[in-house]
Amino acid sequence: MKYEFAHESYLLTRMGELTVVAFRLQGDQGNRTYHQVRSSPFRLADDQGGLWDEFWNAVNETGEKPNLAPADGYMTEWYEWVSGYPESQIAD
């Protein structure tokens, strides 16, 4: 899933049943289409031949594609967020 927040592009993808990885897309990375090509080991590809692992490292023979930047954040349970930020729009 790609989304924009505060004028920055992000990419979230599932890795396994309970894990989500998030990347901050930089430059023209926000204009690309991404898809998961393998789950074990995890591999993420774009429509321009880029390939990355679960640690955001580029996995390609040419070295032309940069590593993806990890997004800042952490996973939380719904009740933890709602109790800590009841005024947030997401809680409505």
Q: What is the pLDDT of residues 23-33, one digit of tens each?
A: 899 888 888 99
**Residue in 14, 25, 6, 20 with CA at minimum distance from that of residue 74:** 20
76: which strand partners? none
**Residue in 18, 28, 41, 15 with CA at minimum distance from that of residue 68:** 28
Structural domain span for residue 30: 2-91
Say how far residue 10 (Cα) sits from the centre of its chain. Answer: 6
How many domains does the chain divide into? Answer: 1
Q: What is the pLDDT of residues 79-92, one digit of tens each?
A: 777 788 888 776 44
- The pTM of the whole model exceeds 0.85: no
